[in-house]
């Protein structure tokens, strides 16, 4: 492939993967069974796909700025002066579709068919999907970024580094719980715990002991997805859940952990305090769906909103993908949510919601997602790409729905 | 003083060091419009544009490299990066956007290099030279 016999795009992609491998001391390339791509800037994309007819593996597309979606107008966004970041997005989508990428346009492509099993190797964008793949499905992959995912999709290869290698998957930080009641805990509390663990573990692998293995997938989504936000965790063994973690000892590779921590109720309080920052309790927007809402969450939200009407001072944005959107429509959830005044959107990442582009200015936002709250408090990547530092409320789904109904934030 | 380490992305650059003991994400930890660091980061009040950023490792979203691409376009990116030990998102940012970068130096760069030091980063040879110490 480096000789150019498969065309200039594949050659460029392979050279990039070799450089990536060298940076992390790879000995060889391995096949990937799945890619998930955050679209590259158009000039880079045109170069790397030159001569490419079809991707070599299952590949899907990540969510993007709501400015790049068909929902921009409905959301009240000004797209005229949205800048260089979005202008070529739809062209990039066409290129990816033409080489066979699945247009999931979602951070949760596992709800639309890009699903992995133990032993599969993946090259994915989306730090929440990556930690879920490694920790829940037992697949193997790293925190890929930049050109790596497109390069892997069109070559079918990735360097054998990091979490692909047995010896770099074992746990290093052992987490246990003290006085945490998993019967009553909210998903936002789990998010606050994950945020705390990520800050402590940084780039290290985590082992969590003491979670009931009946815990629903959605709760794991909220627990795991903040770890690569406050830190850079890509592997979190959950003893009794992760395929490679039948016991603490096996998850640790029969070694002593480098660090042991106990998570107490005070850590949940601390996590929440880092994820909340507001001056008044007036809520103007409520956003949920970071990572994208599953069908179970859509059903629960429809039930909570059934027969009710949100405050006319509040906008309720619920983010998911086209697969869940269509199933929600069939189930009547969509009608129920819309009748209550909510808006379900697709293709959009709400963590980088371009509040600077809102035609009617918004100051305060509530969310049940720790990931989302972290980025709202920091204004994403900045004003030039629509970012704005927001007054942010982080709490349970119940608190968020109540805030949508009343326009006021109430502490638990 | 010369530190020796490991190449992530080749290239040679000189500049002022900006040092932090906190991990850094290109999404959220600075504003690509101005290069100013978020108020919630330990480097609050500093600007990363044109600096050689010295930090333990990357963190945060895999959007990092794409944000880096636009930061380079707006001239608000750092000109070089030195990590204690890189993780993939920050390394791929350097590789995708051609930002010279090294890691795994023979002394801890976060300890040895100080904010304001004028340094030469020869990432091709995997070397960092402290040319002139910051005043004070």
- In tens, the pLDDT along B24-71 reads 999 999 999 999 999 999 999 999 999 999 999 999 999 999 999 999
The segments of chain A whose pLDDT lies below 50 read none
**Among candidates B27, B40, B86 on the partner chain, residue whose Cβ is nearest the Cβ of A381:** B27
Nearest to B53 by CA among B122, B5, B105, B100: B100
Q: How many CB pairs under 8 A join A and B?
A: 141
**Among candidates B33, B73, B91 on the partner chain, residue whose Cβ is nearest the Cβ of A382:** B33
Could A380 and B28 be called an inter-chain contact, meaning their C-beta atoms sit closer than 8 Å?
yes
Chain B interface includes A165 (CB < 8 A): no
* Res A84: pLDDT: 63
ipTM given for this complex:
0.97
Q: Which residues of A touch B28 (CB under 8 A)?
A: 374-375, 378-381
Nearest-by-CA chain B residue for A375: B28
Q: Which residues of A touch B9 (CB under 8 A)?
A: 19, 23
| DSSP letter, residue A133 | I
Could B95 and A380 be called an inter-chain contact, meaning their C-beta atoms sit closer than 8 Å?
no
Chain A interface includes B5 (CB < 8 A): no
Catalytic residue set of B: 61
| Tokens matching residue A331 | 């189930």
* Res A268: pLDDT: 98
Kindly report, residue by residue over A88-99, the tens digit of the pLDDT: 888 999 999 999
Could A20 and B59 be called an inter-chain contact, meaning their C-beta atoms sit closer than 8 Å?
no
Nearest-by-CA chain B residue for A159: B88
* Res A412: pLDDT: 78
* Res A384: pLDDT: 87
Kindly report, residue by residue over B90-103, the tens digit of the pLDDT: 999 999 999 999 99
- What lies within 8 Å, CB to CB, of A211 at 6+ separation is A177, A182, A238, A239, A240, A241
Chain B interface includes A351 (CB < 8 A): yes
**Among candidates A38, A198, A232 on the partner chain, residue whose Cβ is nearest the Cβ of B66:** A38
* Res A303: pLDDT: 98
Residue B65 to chain A, least CA–CA distance (Å): 5
Q: Which residues of B touch A122 (CB under 8 A)?
A: none
* Res B135: pLDDT: 87
* Res A83: pLDDT: 66
Q: Residues 9..28 of A with a Cβ closer than 8 Å to B: which?
A: 16, 19-20, 22-24
Query: Average of pLDDT values for B2-14?
Result: 98
Strand arrangement, sheet containing A122-124? A58-61, A34-37, A122-124
Counting residues of chain B whose pLDDT is more than 90, the rounded percentage is 99
Chain B interface includes A81 (CB < 8 A): no
- The sign one gets for the Cα dihedral A105, A109, A111, A114 is positive
Q: Indicate left, alpha or beta for A208 from its phi (over 0: left) and psi (-120 to 50: alpha).
A: beta
Grouping H, G, I as helix, E, B as strand and the rest as coil, residue B89 is helix
As to burial, measured by CB atoms within 10 angstroms (0-12 exposed, 13-18 middle, 19+ buried), residue A273 is: exposed
Could B87 and A144 be called an inter-chain contact, meaning their C-beta atoms sit closer than 8 Å?
no
Chain B interface includes A40 (CB < 8 A): yes
Counting residues of chain B whose pLDDT is more than 70, the rounded percentage is 100
State yes or no: pLDDT of B105 exceeds 90: yes
Q: Residues 26..45 of B with a Cβ closer than 8 Å to A: which?
A: 26-34, 38-40
């Amino acid at each position: 492939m480096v000789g150019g016999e498969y065309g200039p795009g594949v050659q460029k992609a392979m050279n990039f993967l070799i450089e990536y491998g060298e940076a992390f001391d790879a000995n060889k390339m391995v096949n990937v069974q799945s890619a998930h791509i955050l679209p590259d800037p158009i000039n880079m994309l045109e170069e790397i796909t030159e001569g490419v007819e079809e991707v070599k593996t299952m590949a899907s597309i990540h969510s993007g700025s709501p400015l790049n979606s068909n929902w921009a107008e409905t959301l009240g966004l000004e797209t005229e002066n949205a800048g260089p970041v979005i202008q070529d997005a739809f062209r990039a989508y066409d290129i990816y579709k033409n080489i066979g990428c699945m247009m999931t346009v979602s951070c949760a492509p596992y709800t639309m068919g890009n699903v992995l099993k133990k032993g599969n190797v993946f090259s994915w964008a989306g730090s929440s999907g990556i930690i879920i793949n490694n920790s829940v499905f037992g697949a193997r992959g790293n925190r890929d970024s930049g050109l790596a995912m497109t390069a892997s999709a069109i070559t079918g290869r990735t360097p054998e580094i990091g979490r692909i290698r047995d010896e770099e998957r074992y746990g290093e930080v052992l987490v246990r719980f003290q006085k945490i009641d998993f019967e009553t805990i909210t998903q936002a509390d789990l998010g606050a715990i994950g945020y705390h663990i990520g800050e402590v573990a940084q780039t290290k692998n985590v082992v969590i002991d003491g979670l009931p293995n009946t815990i629903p997938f959605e709760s794991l989504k909220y627990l795991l997805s903040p770890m690569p936000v406050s830190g850079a965790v890509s592997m979190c063994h959950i003893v009794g859940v992760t395929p490679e973690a039948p016991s603490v000892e096996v998850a640790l590779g029969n070694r002593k952990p480098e660090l042991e921590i106990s998570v107490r109720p005070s850590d949940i309080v601390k996590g929440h305090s880092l994820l909340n920052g507001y001056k008044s309790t007036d809520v103007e927007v409520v956003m949920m769906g970071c990572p994208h809402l599953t069908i179970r969450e859509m059903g629960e939200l429809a039930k909570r909103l059934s027969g009710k009407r949100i405050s006319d001072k509040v906008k309720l944005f619920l983010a998911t993908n086209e697969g869940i959107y269509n199933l929600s429509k069939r189930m009547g959830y969509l009608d129920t949510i819309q009748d209550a005044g909510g808006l379900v959107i697709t293709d959009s990442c709400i963590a980088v919601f371009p509040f600077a582009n809102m035609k009617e200015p918004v100051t305060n936002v509530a969310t049940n997602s720790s990931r989302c709250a972290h980025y709202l408090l920091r204004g994403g990547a900045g004003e030039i790409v629509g970012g704005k530092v927001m007054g942010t409320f982080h709490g349970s789904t119940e608190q968020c729905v109540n805030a949508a109904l009343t326009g006021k934030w109430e502490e638990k | 003083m010369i530190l020796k380490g490991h190449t992530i992305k080749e290239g040679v650059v000189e500049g002022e060091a900006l040092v932090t003991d906190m991990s850094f994400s290109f999404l959220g930890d600075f504003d690509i419009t101005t290069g100013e660091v978020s108020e919630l980061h330990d480097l609050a009040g500093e600007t990363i544009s044109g600096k050689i950023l010295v930090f333990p490792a990357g963190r945060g979203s895999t959007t990092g490299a794409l944000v880096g691409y636009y930061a380079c376009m707006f001239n608000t990116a750092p000109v070089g990066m030195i990590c204690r030990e890189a993780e993939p998102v920050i390394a791929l940012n350097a590789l995708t956007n051609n930002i010279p970068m090294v890691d795994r130096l023979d002394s801890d760069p976060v300890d040895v290099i100080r904010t304001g030091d004028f340094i030469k980063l020869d990432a091709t040879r995997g070397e960092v030279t402290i040319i002139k110490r910051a005043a004070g």
